Amino acid sequence: MTHPPSGTPRDIIRSGSRRLLPCIATLLVCAVCAQALPFSESASLALQPEFLLFGDSTAIDPNRMLPLGDTQYMDPSHAPRTPWLAARWAQQAAWQPGDSLQLGLWFENRTSSQQDSNPYLALSGSLDWRPQPELLLHTTFSTMVNQQAPAEFPGNWGDVHAGSREAWLQWSRSWFQLRAGRMSLNTGPESGRSLLLSNSTSLDGWRLEVRPGKKADGLWLSAFHYELDTRAQGTHTYARWLTGHRVGWTWANRASLALAEAILYGKEHGGPSWAALNPLQPLHAVQMNGLEANTVFQLSGWWKLNERQLLSGEILVDDLQLDDASRDDQEPDEWAVQLDLRNALPADILLHTGYTRITQRSYNSKFGHQVWLIHERPLAHPLGADADEFRLGLSWKGSARVHPSWSMAVRRQGERTPWVPFDQPWLEPDARLPYSEPFPTGVVQRTVEHTLAVESLWRSWTLRLAWTLPQVRNLDHVPGQDRSDSFVELRIFGGIARLPGSR
């Protein structure tokens, strides 16, 4: 069954325009107040309106967001059904009293054409302070009104909630870098889509990187330790930690290869494992010596085939059964692979192809506190598990003002995701040996998504128009439940006012 979008663009714009008046009034007030702020000569102030024609935000499941490229796109299976119009007025200010302090502020007021959708106000910003050349303090903050709090910041005061996604102190020298606090980390060549640890969420902990050669080339080592959210299993509640380390080598900016190991474990009582905190200690050996944990290995790298081609990839191993002699060893192998190829063609055309495959039981465990989830979101690749995806994209950069692009993604999602409790059917007495499972498993949700976009640059303005056509079969793994939507994203943003003398 297909659900076409309802409403006409004229109705949407007419209804939405009446709701934009509070945004415009707020914008004018902020512009007047900003003129009185004590900005220095190097400060800058820009009023940046942004219009979005998109879908009903109430239909978006934040746990199913897929970061594709540099922008987060929603999972088409949970895409909006009814178009809506939203406007965001972002007042951006950068205050730099000296070389050691930088401050940026953003004010947002968003409204929707939907009668049941509340507008929200948001004040966010960032602060960078460098008291000494080797020290850097970085923090971002966000305060919202009339907006549902993100899963990682459940606390709120009435209709107001606040949180910080980045708040860390960094100490760096020529040969090492130590960062501690709240941060996001991606451990792979593909931004935001690593098989080991993606930057879709923020984690509290520390990260260390060492380059003995003091150069970009050569040997490098890194280690990280993060505290995760608590997770209940039955009547028990476990505190959880994620610890890992990586070692790699880079060859003259032509290729790089890295081997990583990470361990996720939980304890009902006590703190983190001191043995796991040793960056030179094999973590699988810690698990074999009594620490109940889920250990994974990752091999990642990239290679410049020539001046026009860049190949990157990852291989992740969660669990491999080398000996299938007994019934206990019949568990299907848990692994994942990801490959991407970027090819610069003649006429300023960029071709991007990629493939990702994650087997059905990867990142899962019979112990619920060892599953690779945080706030019910994947710690690793946003596909979760029991899925594969083929990507193809074309973009043209021949013009300085107009950049058209087209992309296609074909996804298959099985039923055995990390949210499904781990079972062991191979241990059943009537299970046929050797045991095997199809890929993907169960009723497969199949998605084909096409996106045609064009981005135009004109002075201080940017216009992006994108048309997305997702077609989903067996939605939510229900046979015969199909869905086909077509929605448009229109974004117009740019600076319309600046402080005199700002730059």
The SS3 call for residue 256 is strand
pLDDT class for 22, splitting at 50, 70, 90?
Answer: low
Rg for the chain, CA atoms, rounded: 25
Residue 321 Cα to chain centre, angstroms: 31
Per-residue pLDDT at 151:
55
- pLDDT computed for residue 108 by the predictor: 62
Residue 386 has pLDDT above 90, yes or no: yes
Q: Report whether pLDDT(124) > 80.
A: no
Q: Comparing C-alpha atoms, which of 238, 381, 233 is closest to residue 296?
A: 381
Instruction: Return mean pLDDT, the chain.
Output: 76
Predicted confidence (pLDDT) at residue 417 exceeds the cutoff of 80: yes
Q: Specify the pLDDT at position 59.
A: 34
- Among the residue ranges 17-26, 128-137, 228-237, the one predicted with the least confidence is 17-26
Q: Determine the pLDDT at residue 434.
A: 81
What is residue 189's predicted lDDT score, i.e. its pLDDT? 66
Q: What is the pLDDT at residue 391? A: 95
> What pLDDT, on the 0 to 100 scale, is given for residue 357?
97
Residues 400-427 have a mean pLDDT of: 90
Q: Are 443 and 474 in contact (CB under 8 A)?
A: yes
Question: Which is more confident, 446 or 34?
Answer: 446
Residue 51 has pLDDT above 90, yes or no: no
Provide the pLDDT for residue 66: 34
> Could you tell me which residue, 53 or 67, shows the higher pLDDT?
53
Lowest mean pLDDT among 36-50, 99-113, 264-278, 377-391: 36-50
Average pLDDT on 217-226 reads 91
What's the pLDDT at 43? Answer: 46
* Averaged pLDDT, 61-75: 34
> Which residue from 437, 413, 438 is spatially nearest to 424, judged by alpha carbons?
437
What span, in angstroms and rounded, lies between the C-alpha atoms of 398 and 414?
A: 40
Looking at residue 157, what DSSP letter applies?
Answer: B
Terminal C-alpha separation, the chain: 54
**Residue 109: pLDDT band by 50, 70, 90 thresholds?**
low
Q: What is the length of the chain? A: 503
Mean pLDDT value of segment 65-69: 31
3-state secondary structure 73-141: EECHHHCCCCEEEEEEEEEEEEEEEECCEEEEEEEEEEECCCCCCCCEEEEEEEEEECCCCCEEEEEEE
Percentages of the chain per state (helix, strand, coil), in multiples of 5: 10, 50, 40
| CA 223 to mean position of chain CA atoms | 21
Tell me: the pLDDT tens digits for 148-165? Answer: 555 555 556 666 767 788
Q: pTM of the predicted model, to two decimals?
A: 0.80
CB crowding 11-44: b at 16 or more within 10 Å, else e = ebeebbeebbeebeebbeebeeebeeeebeeebb
Statement: residue 113 has pLDDT above 50? no
Model confidence pLDDT, tens digit, residues 254-283: 999 999 999 999 999 888 988 888 888 888
**What is the rounded CA–CA span in Å between residue 407 and residue 394?**
6
Identify the pLDDT of residue 476: 87
| Residue with more model confidence, 24 or 199 | 199
Q: How far apart are CA 486 and CA 5, in angstroms?
A: 8
Q: Are the C-beta atoms of residues 368 and 228 closer than 8 Å to each other? A: no
pLDDT at 50: 53
Q: What is the mean pLDDT of residues 375-383?
A: 86
Residue 386: partners with Cβ closer than 8 Å, 6 or more residues away: 358, 359, 360, 361, 413, 414, 415, 416, 417, 439, 440, 441
Q: What is the pLDDT of residue 40?
A: 45
Q: Is the pLDDT of residue 177 over 70?
A: yes
pLDDT at 291 over 70: yes
CB 112 within 8 A of CB 57: yes
SS (H, E, C) 421-485: CCCCHHHCCCCCCCCCCCCCCCCCEEEEEEEEEEEEEECCEEEEEEEEEEEEECHHHCCCCCEEC
Phi-psi region of 328 (alpha: psi -120 to 50; beta: other; left: phi over 0): alpha
pLDDT tens readout for residues 471-493 = 999 988 999 999 887 777 777 76
Give the separation between CA 225 and CA 452, rounded to whole angstroms.
Answer: 41
pLDDT score of 25: 56
Out of 77-91, 128-142, 150-164, pick the least confident: 77-91
- With a pLDDT cut of 70, the percent of the chain lying above it is 68
- Is the pLDDT confidence value at 82 over 60? no
**Mean per-residue pLDDT, 213-220:** 76
